Amino acid sequence: MGVKGEETRARLIAGMRGLIEAQGYFGTGLNQVVAESGAPRGSLYFHFPEGKDQLVTAALTQAGQEIEELLASLARQGSDAATVVAGLARAFADRLAESGYTKGCPIATVGLEVAGSNEALRQVCVEVYAGWQRVLAERLTAEGFDPAEADVAAGQALALLEGAVLLARVRHSPAPLTDATHAVRHLLTAKPADAARAGLTPQRAG
């Protein structure tokens, strides 16, 4: 694929990303994507012959990888896990404010819509979230958490943050993200043994 083809493909993915984050999967049509991207209509099926779901998959995967790299970058800088999560919360808060609270997490809007109706896209969202959780769990393990406890705590931190994004978007306020950041810091800076006794990092059955 030549440079022009790569640029066209990138525009289509960017167009789809912006639209599905703000409008959702069902609210976004391919005609809108073509108009948003400025790409020739014929190029859409050239680059994505399987249609809408293939383009949505590319958009979700790219967005997920960018967030995962942000988390990994913060971890490489020596940030502890709570600070890594705070960095992600700031990124989400910025996206919310800049978009007039139409955008926050690039995965959540679609994930909520397709969880019960589109297994292929649900799995894409599962893999994206698993990548984020893995980065946090690795950071927590380095900080002294048992690997199993680290995985559970990382999942809890992401759950707090994703719930806060939803509340922030509905309320048009960054306050839920600020509150979630404080809660995550309390969760992740507790000594692993203390956290386990408090029921914050339960072992998984089996």
Q: Which long-range contacts (CB under 8 A, 24 or more apart) does 184-189 make?
A: 184/82, 184/85, 184/86, 184/89, 184/157, 184/160, 185/82, 185/85, 185/86, 187/82, 187/153, 187/156, 187/157, 187/160, 188/80, 188/81, 188/82, 188/85, 188/140, 188/153, 188/157, 189/80, 189/82
pTM: 0.89
In CATH terms, the superfamily for domain 53-197 is Tetracycline Repressor, domain 2 (1.10.357.10)
Interval 92-145: pLDDT, tens = 999 999 999 999 999 999 999 999 999 999 999 999 999 999 999 999 999 999
pLDDT at position 44: 93
pLDDT at position 204: 44
pLDDT at position 206: 40
pLDDT at position 191: 53
pLDDT at position 41: 85
**Segments in the chain below pLDDT 50:** 197-198, 201-206
